[in-house]
Structure 1
Amino acid sequence: MAPPSTPPPNPTPGRLRLLAAATVLVVLWCIVLPWVGTTRYVKPMIEHNERWGINPTAMFYSDVEPMTYRDHMLRRAEQ
């Protein structure tokens, strides 16, 4: 007598979770983040970086040159 075979697992719940996660990421990236960039708190920072020619993506790397325009602000606070 052969043992009863078990049915294969249903892949649908995993696919639905993947679709939901992808949808959340797309909504965040394409709707929420651009909206945050237009708020009164973030927009001045973006404009400041553009005025100074700062590439914000490069600020996370170790080869970024020192920002001398901030140096005087830090030294003034110490005095």
Structure 2
Amino acid sequence: MSSQSCYVRVFQTEDGQWSVRSDAPGAGDVDYPSQGDAITAGVHMAMAEGALLTIHAANDAKTKSEIDFAGCSVSRVASIA
């Protein structure tokens, strides 16, 4: 696990929406209608914050995948056509 202090989580809410949560100061939960949208937003947020991204499986807070973006530097994001 990384030593940085910021974490970003992607998880499914009780009402079936997908949410992204950052523990950065002033950040709140942001809800998305699909898992893909939430993962995309979570990846962007984690990259910007140099955070550890945790993606929880649907309806299961115990099953997760983690990607550590600490130390990553992205000067620009390429668009996919």
Say which structure is richer in strand.
2
Larger radius of gyration: 1
Please tell me the TM-score bracket, short chain as reference: under 0.3
TM-score (norm 1): 0.22
TM-score, with length taken from structure 2: 0.22
Q: Which has the higher helix share?
A: 1
- Structure with higher RCO (Cα < 8 A, 6+ apart): 2
